[in-house]
């Protein structure tokens, strides 16, 4: 009996879990629109650390859609995917070895097959003409201004015209876009399709 005369209640375990809670729940994973793969918040924060502030990363996490199912997210092909998968354990190891963790390297430009023009403005209703945004930098989470670089694809010409590279963009589109992004503005590369005129505007 307790000091009050009532039966004493059992103390909860010291680790903070109830005795019937079982195994701890797996951390939530959400889809990063940049590559379409699922990551935990810690993995996402470790990858973007040094590029964006903590509050900006938290705000970006809130815009990411939850991953469906309980399976692991796809392993992203290429160095950028490996960086996301390995960033968290490396960060922990460095935190133990060094008093101050070094800032993570800036995200690499878009690789072959990767798009960087899906945000911040939702353009999913428009037809995606270009194969990828090869070489385009990561769009800022909180751009000073939201801009777009509009291209025209000539359907009867190879690659969409003599001024186009094999992915459908003009040769100077990526440098123009990166110049805007480096100045703190977003720059989405979009093609005008005349059948979607009303949707476009």
151 vs 36, more confident: 151
**74 pLDDT more than 60:** no
Task: Write the pLDDT tens digit of every residue in 162-194.
Answer: 899 999 999 999 999 999 999 999 999 999 999
Mean pLDDT of the chain: 78
**67 pLDDT more than 50:** yes
174 vs 1, more confident: 174
**22 pLDDT more than 90:** no
Three-state SS for the chain is CCCCCCCCCCCCCCCCCCCCCCCCCCCCEEECCCCCCEEEHHHHHHHHECCECHHHHHHHHHHCEECCCCCCCCCCCCHHHHHHHHHHHHHHHHHHHCCCCCCCCCCCCCCCCCCCCCCCCCCCCCCCCCCCCCCCCCCCCCCCCEEEEEECCCCCCHHHCCCECCCCCECCHHHHHHHHHHCCCEEEEEECCHHHHHHHC
The whole-model pTM stands at 0.49
């Amino acid at each position: 009996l307790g000091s009050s005369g009532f039966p004493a209640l059992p103390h909860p375990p010291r680790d903070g879990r109830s005795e019937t809670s079982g195994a701890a729940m797996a951390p939530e994973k959400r889809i990063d629109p940049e590559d379409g793969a699922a990551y935990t918040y810690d993995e996402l924060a470790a990858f973007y650390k040094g590029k964006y502030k903590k509050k900006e990363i938290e705000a970006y996490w809130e815009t990411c859609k939850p991953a469906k199912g309980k399976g692991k997210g796809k392993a992203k092909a290429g160095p950028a995917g490996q960086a996301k998968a390995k960033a968290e354990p490396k960060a922990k190891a460095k935190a133990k070895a060094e008093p101050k963790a070094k800032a993570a390297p800036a995200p690499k430009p878009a690789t072959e097959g990767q798009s960087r023009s899906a945000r911040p403005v939702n353009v999913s209703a428009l037809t995606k003409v270009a194969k990828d945004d090869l070489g385009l930098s990561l769009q800022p989470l909180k751009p000073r201004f939201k801009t777009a670089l509009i291209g025209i694809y000539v359907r009867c010409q190879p690659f969409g015209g003599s001024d186009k590279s094999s992915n459908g963009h003009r040769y100077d589109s990526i440098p123009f876009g990166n110049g805007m992004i480096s100045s703190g503005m977003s720059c989405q590369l979009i093609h005008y399709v005349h059948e979607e005129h009303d949707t476009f505007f």
